[in-house]
Amino acid sequence: MPGTSIFPVEVTNVSRHGLWVLVGDEELFLPFEHFPWFRDASIEKISVVERQTADHLYWPLLDIDLSVESIRTPNAFPLVAKIQP
């Protein structure tokens, strides 16, 4: 079917600690401690996510790009943007 993504992705849960994303058949947790950009975002904005390539997720309503590998191993990617008050 034209337009059907070959890279499925879905936000499956959001808690006060972070969010869960189903990437293909792998469910990954994004703790707010490591991914603070999502902490104050609405569920509506968090739930709109695109898997543009096998290793690239994009939240267009938040303008957030993440590699899947940075979610799997956040300690290997120690640079974190600072949130402006």
All structural domains of the chain with their residue ranges: 9-75
Q: What is the pTM of this model?
A: 0.81
Cβ atoms of residues 56 and 65 within 8 Å: yes
Domain with residues 9-75, CATH architecture: 2-Layer Sandwich (3.30)
Query: Is 90 exceeded by the pLDDT of residue 78?
Result: no
Tokens describing residue 79: 């640079």
Tokens describing residue 68: 């899947």
Choose the weakest-confidence range: 17-26, 32-41, 47-56, 70-79: 70-79
Interior CA angle at 54 toward 3 and 73, to 5°? Answer: 145
Q: What is the mean pLDDT of the chain?
A: 88
